[in-house]
Amino acid sequence: MSPNSLGDRTNLSSGSPQIAAKAKPIKARLRHADSHVSRPIRILSVSPQLSVRRMLRECLSRERDFIVVGEPQNADDVISLAMRRKADIVLLDFSVRTEAAFEILQHLHSSKVEARTISLTTRAIGLDIPRLLRIGGRGVVLIDSPNPMLAKGIRSVFDGQIWLTRQDLADVVTTLALAARPGRVTSSIHLTPRQRQVLKIVASGGTNREVAQQLSVSEDTVKHHITKILDKTGMSRRVELAVYAVEHGLLDIA
């Protein structure tokens, strides 16, 4: 599965008018370049496994814009070290001691730590991603992912995006839909029948091309619908849009 980097609207659709569409990607590239040129991304690696810490250290050392600022083994040291070392990213190993990792994430979320957390996991573990997102998680990366994939996930989360595989996003939508209560908040936002069709596919992880193929329309038409949906909901990222859509009854999911 190839992950979706879930960033601002320029990653989801091309806007209108044309001047705005041309300007946004330029600004995005400048922000990305400045963030990596000015200083390295400061990373805290948190895992009870020595082998994982060594693997991450070796992988991250190959990237010129990364620096590992700590490898706390004691859960009590994670927050204090993240604050003292001014960490930008916390890589938190969920492959063992899952509940302990959730507790660390919860403490990070409720503290004043500004670092963004990426959860490391394995294919063998069923991670509760909706719960993870609710308490501040910003992404999920497989421990055995290729080095470039891990690096891309780190940079994306550092740039304010959410990093999930398409399957993870689909699972989040399904889980939230099943858990939705009859008395959930309803939205006064009006979407056309076609916009609802587009939203359902997008919220399940579908790409613009897949939406176009399923609905027999052009990709430009899909981009236009997505822009309208984002404007109506006030959302800017696919994960946020998917969660909002489920919680406000905008998706017709059985």
Class of domain 39-165: alpha beta
Give the pLDDT of residue 118.
95
Find the mean pLDDT for residues 235-244: 75
Alpha-carbon separation of residue 87 from 90, 114, 155, 232 (angstroms): 7, 8, 14, 36
CB atoms within 10 A of CB 110: 11
Alpha-carbon separation of residue 14 from 69, 163, 231 (angstroms): 38, 21, 13
Residue 198's identity, in one-letter code, is V
Helix (H) or strand (E) holding 137: strand 137-142
Give the pLDDT of residue 242.
78
Give the pLDDT of residue 145.
86
Give the pLDDT of residue 32.
41
Express each pLDDT in 48-99 by its tens digit: 999 999 999 999 999 999 999 999 977 788 998 999 999 999 999 998 888 9
Q: What is the pTM of this model?
A: 0.65
Class of domain 173-247: mainly alpha
Find the mean pLDDT for residues 35-46: 80
Cβ 68 vs Cβ 43: under 8 Å: yes
Give the pLDDT of residue 252.
62
DSSP classification of residue 248? T
Cβ 121 vs Cβ 137: under 8 Å: no
Q: What is the average pLDDT score of the chain?
A: 78
Rg of the chain (C-alpha set): 19
List CB contacts of 221: < 8 A, sequence separation 6 or more.
Answer: 212
| Percentage, residues of the chain above pLDDT 90 | 39
Cβ 200 vs Cβ 249: under 8 Å: no
Give the pLDDT of residue 186.
59
Domain boundaries, given as residue ranges, for the chain: 39-165, 173-247
Give the pLDDT of residue 162.
80
User: Which stretch of 6-10, 151-155, 172-176, 238-242 has the lowest confidence by average pLDDT?
Assistant: 6-10
d(CA 199, CA 193) in angstroms, rounded, equals: 10
d(CA 45, CA 119) in angstroms, rounded, equals: 11
pLDDT at 222 over 60: yes
Express each pLDDT in 135-163 by its tens digit: 888 889 988 888 899 999 999 899 887 88
pLDDT at 10 over 60: no
Cβ 157 vs Cβ 178: under 8 Å: no
Look at residue 156 and give its three-state secondary structure: helix
- 85 vs 178 pLDDT, higher one: 85
